[in-house]
Amino acid sequence: MTTALATPVAVRPAARRTGPSLPSAVWLEVRKSLSTRSGMAVAAAALLIGPAAMALAAGTASEDLDDALGPLVVTGLLGALVLLSLGALSTAGEWTHGSIQTTFLLEPRRGRVMAAKAAAVALMGAVIAVVASGLSVLVLLAVQPSWPWDGVGRAILMVAVAGAAFALIGAGFGAAVGNTAGALTGIYLLNLGVLPILQTTKPELADKIDPGNAILELAQGDQQVQSVVILTVWVGVALIAGTVMTRRRQVS
């Protein structure tokens, strides 16, 4: 009787993915953004600039307004402009300071890193914008209690959208540039220099590309589709450019 010997079969070990889960990665990015002095300073400025402007505007207002929608959205946009910096610091800051090496060691999938950063800055932008709007409402209540409160809920929603969108634009721009100073200079030169000049010289063109104007139009219920498209293009182009450059850039 012949005994057959079983031929050993090589078993390929199952590869385990490294890195934290996406929710953990998002929370880690939030903590990283708020753990530095610059991040905390930007978050505090975004939180307080709107209420401060509201206090100034409400205290010097010479006539009653129809509702609180306009003042809340306009002052909320000031905070959204600051949140551009928070987004840029979350991405460009890591390349500037060299901490991106540690980030990629923890999570080598660069697209996933960019997704976590985008989710983190969108969350922070929306939350900071909502809290700032709440403080602005309290300021209005204290300074001008007789003002009508129609549109407060819509204003807070629009400010939250602005906070998330502008933070995402900043994150994408920062990732594309890969340098904090260059990213901040470029993004504010565009938003505070080029677009205002364009609003003066060619307003019909500026209205079709200005993200701040798109937020105002959304809040007022005008040009809804165009405004959504403008914000989507800004966020989409910034994040795509940032993701592409993040994948291609060499870590030194």
Are the beta carbons of 22 and 115 closer than 8 angstroms? yes
As a whole number of angstroms, the distance between CA 34 and CA 155 comes to 26
Quick one: pLDDT at residue 1? 46
As a whole number of angstroms, the distance between CA 69 and CA 72 comes to 5
Both tokens of residue 3? 């005994």
Quick one: pLDDT at residue 248? 92
As a whole number of angstroms, the distance between CA 92 and CA 96 comes to 6
Quick one: pLDDT at residue 150? 77
As a whole number of angstroms, the distance between CA 107 and CA 109 comes to 6
Are the beta carbons of 62 and 30 closer than 8 angstroms? no
Quick one: pLDDT at residue 14? 47
Residues 6+ apart with CB under 8 A from 8: none
As a whole number of angstroms, the distance between CA 199 and CA 86 comes to 26
Extents of the domains making up the chain: 22-248
pTM: 0.88
Q: Which amino acid, residue 222?
A: D
59 pLDDT above the threshold of 90: no
Quick one: pLDDT at residue 15? 45
Arithmetic mean of pLDDT, 16-21: 65
Q: Which amino acid, residue 60?
A: T
Residues 6+ apart with CB under 8 A from 139: 51, 54, 55, 58
pLDDT tens digits along 7-18? 554 555 444 455
